[in-house]
Amino acid sequence: MRWIDVTTPLTPAMRVYPGDPPVVTAVVADPRRGDAARVTTLSLSVHAGTHVDAPNHVGRAGSGVESLPLDAMIGPAFVVRAAGLRRRRPVTPADLASLPRPLPRRLLFRGGMPLLEETARELARRGVLLVGTDALSIDPVGSAALPAHHALLRAGVVVLEGLRLDGARPGRCQLIALPLLIPGADGAPARVVLGFTSGSRSARRRPAPRGTMRRASGRGARRSG
């Protein structure tokens, strides 16, 4: 099996959700300054880069990231590029018709498009455990209602955002997504890798990690993906 890393590198220059704080790193100790070791601090939103959302992200009640089941974030998955994504519109329930039956329980949407609320409800109804996207959010950026978030998180579906799926072709794979354990947090950065069987058409050589994406400008609705 060949594994590829689909995690967005955390850098000060990376794109973040409008209104969220930027990623900031600072070296606070350095042997070149006479310290015993190099020590770096990191400041960021828990929704920066590749991350999971917890149930308490969009509601007054709900549990934190520590409640997310590991078995939902580890196992067989399917990278989706639905027809609707090519037309630059949200993913609709009709776009699910071309997927294998029974529906894979972990779906990763490639193409940067949000999900309609009806699509999110249909995925939850059909027993999907995890929905991932390479967009900043499964809802449109700037959305105040966040209908797809509510539909999935209330149903216990793990939401995984900010993936880097440009090197993963559509098809079956193995998923390992391990978020940081931050009790009570409404989300957490995650390291995510995909495994493809030898000779699979779904695997191809990844480009070098991109760490120089521009930070999102403007101050939109204060909400993370």
What element of type H or E holds 109? strand 106-109
Sign of the Cα torsion 38, 65, 169, 77 reads positive
Residue 149 bears catalytic tag: no
Vertex 18 angle, CA 12 and 22, to 5°: 20
DSSP 3-state of 10:
coil
Query: Do residues 74 and 106 touch, judged by C-beta distance below 8 A?
Result: no
47, 51, 57, 149: which one is catalytic?
57
Cβ neighbour number for residue 10 with a 10 Å cutoff: 16
Q: Which of 72, 46, 42 is nearest to 57 (CA)?
A: 46
Q: What residues are annotated to the active site?
A: 57
